[in-house]
Structures are given as structure tokens and as C-alpha cells.
Amino acid sequence: MFIAHKAARAQIALIYVDPAFTSQMCSVCGHVDKKNRTNQETFLCTSCGFAEHADVNAARNIASRGAADWAVSHAADDAA
């Protein structure tokens, strides 16, 4: 609620993103597998071989979902 309040006060849009599987999903090819997380800090995609710090990979997935959700929520506004 604190972040929502601060965003509204600064007139910044806030998008809620479901974080499910963002740490297991490859931000390059979209492959989801528990084995993609070799340890707490390492992400290595078992499908395409992409390697990244696990937190950075998850952040890319969350950002991508946020951008997609934003586009969907504003498509109706643009059509009007």
C-alpha cells in the first residue's frame, strides 16, 4: 500500500505483476523449469543455454510482464 500511495502521489502508473515462476523462467526463450536454477544466485536455461544472475533474470521477467500488462490495459484506451 505504501508503494501504491507513493506512486499515486507522484502520478506514476503502478502495475501489479504475478511473480509466479519468474525465477524459473528464461527471460530469453520463456522456458520454465526448476532445473534452470542451479543454485540460489545462478540461472542457467536448460533449453537455450542463457546464463544470468538469478535475480536479474527474474527482474527481466517481471519487467516484461509489466510491459505486456500495461499494453493490454491501455489497448482499449488507444482504440477509443
pLDDT, tens digit (0-9, with 9 covering 90-100), for 18-64: 999 999 999 999 999 999 998 999 999 999 999 999 999 999 999 99
Check residue 47 and give its pLDDT.
Answer: 98
pLDDT at 16 over 80: yes
**Contact criterion met (CB below 8 Å) for 14 and 4:** yes
For the chain, give every domain's residue range.
Answer: 18-79
Check residue 77 and give its pLDDT.
Answer: 64
Check residue 62 and give its pLDDT.
Answer: 95
